[in-house]
Amino acid sequence: MKPKVRTNGRPLPEYPLVDLASSVCETADFFRPALAHPTSLLPMRPSYQTHWGAMYQGDAAGLLASLPDESLDLVITSPPYALHFKKEYGNVNKDGYVDWFRPFGREIYRALKPEGSFVLNIGGSYNAGMPTRSLYHFRVLIMLVEQLGFHLAQECFWYNPAKLPSPAEWVTFAG
């Protein structure tokens, strides 16, 4: 039996439920079927879409620049981290990371609605040859707040017990 869910006095469209779910998620209250779907914001086809949103794969700078002002409710991104070893997908060193990320931050700020949210998943790294952590990711947050106008609402820390602490040279013991 499908539940009869209503929001703002209107019945919700029929959406498939997530496995083991007994009703439409509470977040469905944020979905406004009367508004245009987010895919109407960009001319290209999304890599993935649902009734609530869409995901695009491509050059982030170009995609962001083509979005209308104040058109997004949410931006979630996990850009390449500033590691001291180069990855094949390309990553900027710690010294240049704030300057590299600033144009993305400007476009995200421009494209977000005033009540929109920006979730940035950015990992830290250790300083080469030292048992100390880099502060580059904190510098990015400070730049976003002090230079671009974002507000820091919350930090989340990822606890991953399946991964050894890094760098291994500082946490291993010769027995």
Q: What angle do CA 114, 115, 118 make, to 5 degrees?
A: 95
Q: Tell me the pLDDT tens digit for each residue of 115-162.
A: 999 999 988 888 888 888 889 999 999 999 999 999 999 888 777 777
CB 76 within 8 A of CB 86: no
Question: What DSSP assignment string belongs to 24-66?
Answer: --GGGGG--TTSPPGGGG-SSPPSEE-SS-EE--S-HHHHHHT
2 pLDDT band (50/70/90 cuts)?
very low
Q: Tell me the pLDDT tens digit for each residue of 77-89.
A: 988 888 767 777 7
CB 105 within 8 A of CB 150: yes
What pLDDT, on a 0 to 100 scale, did the predictor assign at position 166?
Answer: 60
CB 133 within 8 A of CB 115: no
Closest to 123 (Cα-Cα) out of 79, 153, 175: 79
The topology (CATH level 3) of 58-154 is Rossmann fold (3.40.50)
What pLDDT, on a 0 to 100 scale, did the predictor assign at position 120?
Answer: 94
CB 78 within 8 A of CB 35: no
Q: Tell me the pLDDT tens digit for each residue of 4-63.
A: 444 445 555 554 544 444 454 444 544 455 667 778 888 889 999 887 788 888 888 899
